[in-house]
């Protein structure tokens, strides 16, 4: 090394714009060690990938700021080095951009009418409605295939003690109808006031026609556009953003948005990664550009196909055919990968929505997350800046009801929410999709 040496700091290179931190799995260097440019000096794990951290120059380790296993924000330096490489004199935190072509940047915002003045129209959520089946299925009932697993273990891993499963003669559109009818009634509108219907579901009644059209018939609303949307567990918030766009464009004034999933019929009861997670349910709301209600402040929508393997199902519909020898008809989840991605996505969305809404963490009255997993939500709360006691959980009683989980959870605290309370919704789903919404009550 040249005698013209100086000290500088190293940063972990970010792998995608939506990421905010990574874990140092293992250092390959220690204090006093010399290294060469391009040498692997550490192994790093982020929400999206595991990668080698290569030295950007020749040098010598002066100090390591973090130990193996530490979680490190990308904006923080991880080590101080001694080097003579002049290109490192102006080194700073690297640009937070994807490092490789296969890394997918998650869009920060979507479906935002930037060309319209904010004062043109305020979009509000009006009434809410939900449907939960009567049948309660406790963990004990599902343990018949798992003699070595206890109820306490399932609760510890998932945060779930029981869930609701629909009766054999119930279809997804039946649950959607009950939730939608209540939402319209609670909005103070009549069915004839609804001029668009959007249904979010991964378990439609049939492949076609859409469950939205079937719901339209059950509600007795004719002549208005109706369609299904599939963004998995993020679907209800995706549908709200779509409805908001239609209202801003003048296509509709009052849009019914319903999320419904009936996962109980598509679970492999011998797969411990999925059979304990899901419950059935439906949740609905009405968006309006003309009526006063709970004001939508900011939205976040994103998707990243790097997570296609994390949650998936190959066969459509809410039932499984008798002959499945040539394909896998069940819901499958890569729990470990999904845990890391969901934890980071939840916390990042909460932080970003607070900033975009011009709030502080102290302003947030409730975070109502998708009820994916109790451990995921606790881990996300620790990184979000909002105390865990402000994250509302009902997963212990209803399980993961997919795209219905946010409205179902909201219905339990709705009566206690005060005017002007600030609330954040956030979710992650197969795709892998993510969505967030901030509203002022």
Q: What is the DSSP string of 130-166?
A: EE--SEEEEHHHHGGG-TT--HHHHHHHH--SEEEE-
Nearest-CA neighbor of 187 among 288, 89, 114, 115? 288
Distance CA 165, CA 261 (A): 11
Residues 6+ apart with CB under 8 A from 336: none
- Per-residue burial over 122-145, b if 16 or more Cβ lie within 10 Å, else e, is ebbbbbbbbbbbeeebebeebbee
Distance separating alpha carbons of residues 144 and 137, to the nearest angstrom: 13
pLDDT tens by residue, 37-66: 989 999 887 765 677 889 999 999 999 999
Q: Contact 87/57 with Cβ under 8 angstroms?
A: yes
**Eight-state DSSP code of residue 417:** P
pLDDT, residue 104, reads 34
Give the number of residues written for the chain.
Answer: 441
Element (H, E) at 281: strand 281-288
Q: Above 60 in pLDDT, residue 120?
A: no
Could you report the per-residue pLDDT of 297-339, keeping only the tens digit for each?
A: 999 998 877 765 666 566 666 666 666 666 666 666 765 655 5
Domain boundaries of the chain, sorted by first residue: 6-87, 124-315+331-440
CA 105 – CA 430 distance, rounded (Å): 17
Contact 364, 420 (CB under 8 A): no
From 217, 297, 224, 215, select the one nearest 255 (Cα to Cα): 224
pLDDT-based confidence at residue 108 (cuts at 50, 70, 90): very low
Q: What is the mean pLDDT of the chain?
A: 84
The whole-angstrom distance between residue 133's C-alpha and the CA centroid of its chain comes to 24
Q: Of 70 and 412, which is predicted with more confidence? A: 412
CA distances from 263 to 274, 317, 403, 404 (A): 10, 10, 11, 11
**Per-residue pLDDT tens over the stretch 378-411:** 888 888 889 999 999 999 999 999 999 999 999 9
**CB of 200 within 8 A of CB of 259?**
yes
Residue 122: how many CA atoms within 13 Å on its side-chain side? Answer: 13
Most confident of 4-8, 226-230, 301-305: 226-230
CB 243 within 8 A of CB 255: yes
Asked if 48 contacts 428 with a C-beta cutoff of 8 angstroms, the reply is no
The pTM for the full model equals 0.69
Read off the tokens for 344: 């980071």
Range with the lowest mean pLDDT among 115-119, 176-180, 187-191, 230-234? 115-119
Query: In this structure, are residues 65 and 81 in contact, taking their beta carbons and an 8 Å threshold?
Result: no
Q: Provide Rg for the chain, Cα atoms.
A: 24
Name the band, by pLDDT with cuts 50, 70 and 90, for residue 365.
very high
Nearest Cα to 99, choosing from 58, 37, 50, 35?
Answer: 50
Burial class for 314, CB neighbours closer than 10 Å (0-12, 13-18, 19+): exposed
Element (H, E) at 429: strand 422-429
Rounded CA separation 401/175 (Å): 12
Q: Do domains 6-87 and 124-315+331-440 have the same CATH topology?
A: no
pLDDT of residue 71: 83
Does the pLDDT value for residue 135 go beyond 90? yes
What's the token pair of residue 223? 């002549």
Residues annotated as catalytic (active site), given as ranges: 233, 370, 400
Which position has the higher pLDDT, 320 or 224?
224
What's the CATH fold of domain 124-315+331-440? Peroxisomal Thiolase; Chain A, domain 1 (3.40.47)
pLDDT tens, position by position, 70-89: 888 888 899 999 999 888 87
User: How many C-beta atoms surround the C-beta of residue 193 within 10 A?
Assistant: 17
CA 63/CA 72 separation, integer angstroms: 16
Cis peptide, bond prior to residue 209, ω within 30 of zero: yes
Range 235-243 average pLDDT = 95
Structure-block tokens of residue 243 = 């409805």
Calpha distance 17→19 (Å, rounded): 6
CB atoms near residue 168 (< 10 Å): 6
Q: What b/e sequence results for 366-405 when a residue is b if at least 16 CB atoms lie within 10 Å of its CB, and e otherwise?
A: bbbbbbbbbebbebbbebbebeeebbbbbbebbbbbbbbb
Q: How far apart are the first and last CA of the chain?
A: 62
Give me the residue label for tokens 């700073």. Answer: 92
pLDDT for the residue 386: 92
Is the domain defined by 6-87 classed in CATH 2.40.50.100?
yes
């Amino acid at each position: 090394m040249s005698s013209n040496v100086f000290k500088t700091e190293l940063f972990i290179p970010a792998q995608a714009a939506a990421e905010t931190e990574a874990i140092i799995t293992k250092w390959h260097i220690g204090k006093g060690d010399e290294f060469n440019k391009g040498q692997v000096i550490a192994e790093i794990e982020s929400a999206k990938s595991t990668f080698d951290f290569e030295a950007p120059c020749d040098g010598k380790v002066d100090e390591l700021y973090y130990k193996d296993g530490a979680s490190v924000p990308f904006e923080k330096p991880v080590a101080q080095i001694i080097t003579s490489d002049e290109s490192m004199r102006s080194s700073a935190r690297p640009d937070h951009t994807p490092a490789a072509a296969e890394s997918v940047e998650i869009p920060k915002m979507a479906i935002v009418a930037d060309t319209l003045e904010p004062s043109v129209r305020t979009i509000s959520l009006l009434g809410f409605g939900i449907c939960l089946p009567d049948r309660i299925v406790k963990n004990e009932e599902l343990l018949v295939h798992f003699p070595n697993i206890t109820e306490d273990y399932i609760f510890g891993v998932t945060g779930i003690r029981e869930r609701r499963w629909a009766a054999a003669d119930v279809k997804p559109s039946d649950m959607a109808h009950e939730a939608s009818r209540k939402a319209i009634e609670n909005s103070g509108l009549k069915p004839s006031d609804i001029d668009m219907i959007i249904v979010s579901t991964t378990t439609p009644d049939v492949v076609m026609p859409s469950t939205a059209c079937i719901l339209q018939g059950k509600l007795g609303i004719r002549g208005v556009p109706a369609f299904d949307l599939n963004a998995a567990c993020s679907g209800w918030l995706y549908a709200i953003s779509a409805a908001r766009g239609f209202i801003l464009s003048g296509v509709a004034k009052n849009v019914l948005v319903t999320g419904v999933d009936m996962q109980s019929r598509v679970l492999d009861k011998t797969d411990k990664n999925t059979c304990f997670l899901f419950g059935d349910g439906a949740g609905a709301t009405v968006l309006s550009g003309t009526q006063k209600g709970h004001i939508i402040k900011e939205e976040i929508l994103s998707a990243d196909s790097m997570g296609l393997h994390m949650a998936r199902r190959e066969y459509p519909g809410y039932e499984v055919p008798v002959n499945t020898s040539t394909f896998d008809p069940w819901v499958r989840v890569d729990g470990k990968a999904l845990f890391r991605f969901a934890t980071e996505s939840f916390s990042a969305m909460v932080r970003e929505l607070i900033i975009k809404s011009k709030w502080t963490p102290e302003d947030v009255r409730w975070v109502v997350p998708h009820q994916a997993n109790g451990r995921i939500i606790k881990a996300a709360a620790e990184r979000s800046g909002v105390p865990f006691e402000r994250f509302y959980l009902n997963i212990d009683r209803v399980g993961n009801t997919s795209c219905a989980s946010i409205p179902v959870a909201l219905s339990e605290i709705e009566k206690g929410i005060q005017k002007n309370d600030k609330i954040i919704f956030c979710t992650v789903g197969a795709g892998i999709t993510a969505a967030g919404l901030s509203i002022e009550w």
